[in-house]
Amino acid sequence: MTAFVKVLPSGHEFILEGRSTLLEAGLRAGLALEYGCSNGNCGKCLARLVSGDVQKARHHDFRISEQQKINGHMLLCCNTTDSDVVIEAREASSAHEITQQHLTARVRDIRIVSDDVALLHLKTPRTQRLRFMAGQHVMLGGNDLPQAHYSVASCPCDDMNLHFQVPRSEQDAFSEIVFGDLKKGEKVDVTGPGGEFVLDEESPRSPVFIAWQTGFAPIRSLIEHAMSLEVVESISLVWIARNKDHRYLDNLCRSWNDALDDFSYVPVDADVRQDYLDIINVLTRQLGIGPDDLPDHDFFIAGNSGLLDHCQKALSANGLPVEQLFTDSLIHA
Ligand code: FES
């Protein structure tokens, strides 16, 4: 069963398959729909059916008034459809519109993937998920745990499973706990989201992502989000690390490169803290993006201040407009 859903006033469209709720299908398609509990309690996903029919997928405790029902109001998290519909729903158009949340998740898995990086998987309660935009960060810890900020390294479309790439650092007590005592099932508080390192979804330009080591965390979230948006024509990724071992998800990037026609992945060995890195040369020779092509792309760069300074200067000197450059230095690099 496949249905087309059009959202007003944005004009966004997505496909709903099977018995997914309107909310689940919209999030999977990369839309930043307004919602809270995902469970029929808070009413934040209240939307209006403009045309077509919906069917109730689950019971809800949130009370919709008789007048609202007459006007076509229904909850996106509790309704599905088997035919084409037009709905009027609230969507965030910028990171500022996502409200701060505080929730307690549990450790689902910790995987040490190199001598100084751990992949941390947290699972939220079904009734208290994290609404965020790809590329944003949160604060982990609190109560008995030290606190630290990390970028969410997963897609907002899977809001119960939050993934993080934690670099080990003596200055970051939370990371020492991840590499030491933190166990599966333990509670971790999550507060956020924050940050404006998000895609410009109205941009007609193709994105180029540049990551330094664990700067790959927000970049992975952005790439997975960009993949879910059908408007993105091509995606380029440059992952710079001291050596191959520090590109701890190299296989994932290669699988994107192999599976997707319009995806290009370039691994680069360099230590941006010491070495000279000719990013223009990398872009030109390995991605075919010369100085004349820069205005056709948006650049998303996540890494330490050395990488950000270097790339900013090089790209600006070659004519990249400043509004096409997005940077994130919120990592322990
Ligand atoms: S998200 Fe809370 S009622 Fe739908």
| SS3 (DSSP) at 71 | coil
Residue 76 Cα: closest atom of ligand 1: 4
- pLDDT at residue number 69: 94
- pLDDT at residue number 331: 58
Ligand 1 pocket mutation pick from 31, 45, 79 by most atoms within 8 angstroms of CB: 45
Ligand 1 pocket mutation pick from 21, 34, 39 by most atoms within 8 angstroms of CB: 39
- pTM higher than 0.85, yes or no? yes
Residue among 122, 98, 127 at smallest CA distance from 111? 122
Distance CA 238, CA 288 (A): 13
Q: Is the CB of 277 under 6 A from ligand 1?
A: no
Residue 75 Cα: closest atom of ligand 1: 4
- pLDDT at residue number 34: 94
Instruction: Answer whether 152's CB lies under 8 Å from 221's CB.
Output: yes
Q: Is the CB of 73 under 6 A from ligand 1?
A: no
Helices (H) and strands (E) in the chain, counts: 7, 18
Q: Is the CB of 192 under 6 A from ligand 1?
A: no
Measure 230 CA to ligand 1 centroid, in angstroms.
26
Indicate if 206-328 has the same CATH topology as 2-91: no
Classify domain 2-91 at the CATH class level: alpha beta
Residue 36 Cα: closest atom of ligand 1: 1
Residue 40 Cα: closest atom of ligand 1: 3
Instruction: Answer whether 83's CB lies under 8 Å from 3's CB.
Output: yes
Ligand 1 pocket mutation pick from 24, 38, 56 by most atoms within 8 angstroms of CB: 38
Instruction: Answer whether 141's CB lies under 8 Å from 222's CB.
Output: no
- pLDDT at residue number 93: 86
Residue 77 Cα: closest atom of ligand 1: 4
Q: Is the CB of 64 under 6 A from ligand 1?
A: no
Q: Is the CB of 35 under 6 A from ligand 1?
A: yes
Residue among 238, 306, 249, 240 at smallest CA distance from 117? 249
CB count, 10 Å around CB of 222?
Answer: 28
- pLDDT at residue number 332: 56
Residue among 50, 55, 57, 92 at smallest CA distance from 77? 57
- pLDDT at residue number 70: 95
Q: What Rg do the C-alpha atoms of the chain give, in angstroms?
A: 21
- pLDDT at residue number 143: 84
CB burial of residue 303 (10 Å; 0-12, 13-18, 19+): buried
- pLDDT at residue number 330: 64
Q: Which CATH architecture has domain 96-194?
A: Beta Barrel (2.40)
| SS3 (DSSP) at 139 | strand
pLDDT per residue of the chain (333 residues) written in tens, 0 to 9? 799 999 999 999 999 999 899 999 999 998 999 999 999 999 999 999 999 999 999 999 999 999 999 999 999 999 999 999 999 999 998 899 999 999 999 999 999 999 899 999 999 998 889 999 999 999 999 888 999 999 999 999 899 999 999 999 989 999 999 999 999 999 999 999 999 999 988 899 999 999 999 999 999 999 999 988 876 779 999 999 988 999 999 999 999 999 999 999 999 998 876 667 889 999 999 999 999 999 999 999 999 888 898 899 999 999 999 999 999 986 555
- Which fold, 206-328? Rossmann fold (3.40.50)
Measure 9 CA to ligand 1 centroid, in angstroms.
20
Partners of 269 in beta bridges: 241
Domain boundaries along the sequence of the chain = 2-91, 96-194, 206-328
Phi-psi map region of 98: left, alpha, beta (phi>0 left; psi -120 to 50 alpha)? beta
Those residues whose C-beta lies under 8 Å from the C-beta of residue 103, and which sit 6 or more positions away, are 124, 125, 128, 129, 130, 189, 190
Residue 308 has which token pair? Answer: 């950000």
- pLDDT at residue number 217: 97
Measure 51 CA to ligand 1 centroid, in angstroms.
21
